[in-house]
């Protein structure tokens, strides 16, 4: 049992962070999952500008005193942020008792049949009361479904066909395209109309295309002006006097 530490003079306590394992430095992920995690987390930070939130990949969540942390592939928690001194032991991972709430969304990417995403992990996230639990199974290790979305209703998870997560104002969708020079099918966040949240690179490319379009329009306008001026001169009219 983790030692309890009294907070101020109240009857409220939290586990001693110095006795918790906040990281173990063991690399266990694969190229595909790591890139997919980066896409999901990066697009949130490049697209959501007016709301406070915390999104992370492979960061432990401590949810229950005496229980080990669970490490989702990706989680998203609104209205919280990383403490200023994130190197302090108690600030290195997501401790529900310090942030005051569980994440709204937890997401697992299935790589094999050993993760028990539909069993023990689902039970933990349900007990934690994360509003949504998403299981992305690109290689269909757990059955025919590539994407499963669970919504917390009361104290239980119910699988839903809805990919729009009403409580967080985001959706998830499968998207075919290129991310970091890799053409594949990706899981992405989306708005209610299905438009995906852009990464920083996509946003920069969109801006480059917009600027190029504006440049072409300006060139075409200049060419039309020059053509009109040439026609006026051919008619004996000086366009500069008009």
Q: Round to whole Å and give the CA distance between 148 and 163.
A: 9
- The residues with which 62 forms a beta bridge, in sequence order, are 95
Q: What is the pLDDT, as a whole number, of residue 5?
A: 40
Alpha-carbon dihedral sign for residues 203, 177, 192, 163: negative
- Number of residues that make up the chain: 242
Specify whether the backbone of 193 is left (phi greater than 0), alpha (psi in -120 to 50) or beta: alpha
Report residues of the chain scoring pLDDT below 50.
1-9
Q: Which helix (H) or strand (E) element contains residue 186?
A: strand 182-190
Q: What is the pLDDT, as a whole number, of residue 25?
A: 56
Q: What is the pLDDT, as a whole number, of residue 2?
A: 38
Q: Which residue has the tokens 């987390």?
A: 41
Angstrom distances, CA of residue 71 to CA of 56, 68, 205: 10, 10, 33
> What are the tokens at 36?
């997919």
Q: What is the pLDDT, as a whole number, of residue 1?
A: 36
Q: Round to whole Å and give the CA distance between 93 and 126.
A: 20
How much is the pTM?
A: 0.81
Contact 55, 45 (CB under 8 A): yes
Q: What is the DSSP string of 91-144?
A: GSSEEHHHHTS--SEEEEE--SSSS-TTTHHHHHHHHHT-SEEEEE-TT-SSSS
Q: Round to whole Å and give the CA distance between 27 and 182.
A: 22
Q: Which residue has the tokens 């998207």?
A: 175
Identify each DSSP E strand in 34-104 by its residue range.
53-57, 61-62, 74-78, 94-95
Q: What is the pLDDT, as a whole number, of residue 207?
A: 78
Angstrom distances, CA of residue 32 to CA of 60, 98, 108, 109, 136: 20, 32, 13, 10, 12
């Amino acid at each position: 049992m983790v030692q309890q530490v009294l907070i101020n003079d109240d009857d409220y306590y939290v586990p001693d962070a110095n006795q918790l394992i906040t990281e173990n430095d063991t690399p266990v992920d694969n190229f595909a999952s790591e890139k997919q995690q980066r896409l999901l987390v990066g697009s949130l930070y490049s697209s959501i500008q007016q709301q406070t939130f915390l999104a992370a990949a492979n960061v432990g969540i401590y949810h229950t005193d005496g229980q080990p942390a669970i490490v989702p592939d990706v989680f998203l928690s609104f209205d919280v942020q990383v403490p200023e001194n994130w190197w302090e032991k108690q600030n290195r991972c997501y401790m529900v008792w310090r942030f005051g709430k569980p994440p709204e969304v937890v997401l697992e990417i299935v790589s094999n049949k050993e993760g028990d995403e539909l069993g023990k992990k689902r039970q933990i996230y349900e007990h934690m009361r994360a509003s949504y639990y998403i299981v992305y199974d690109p290689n269909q290790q757990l059955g025919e479904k590539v994407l499963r979305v669970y919504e917390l209703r009361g104290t239980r998870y119910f699988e839903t066909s809805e990919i729009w997560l009403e409580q967080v104002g985001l959706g998830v969708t499968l998207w075919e395209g290129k991310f970091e020079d890799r053409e594949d099918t990706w899981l992405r966040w989306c708005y209610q109309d299905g438009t995906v949240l852009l990464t920083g690179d996509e946003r920069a490319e969109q801006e480059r295309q917009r600027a190029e379009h504006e440049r072409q329009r300006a060139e075409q306008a200049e060419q039309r002006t020059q053509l009109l001026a040439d026609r006026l001169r051919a008619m004996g009219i000086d366009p500069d006097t008009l």
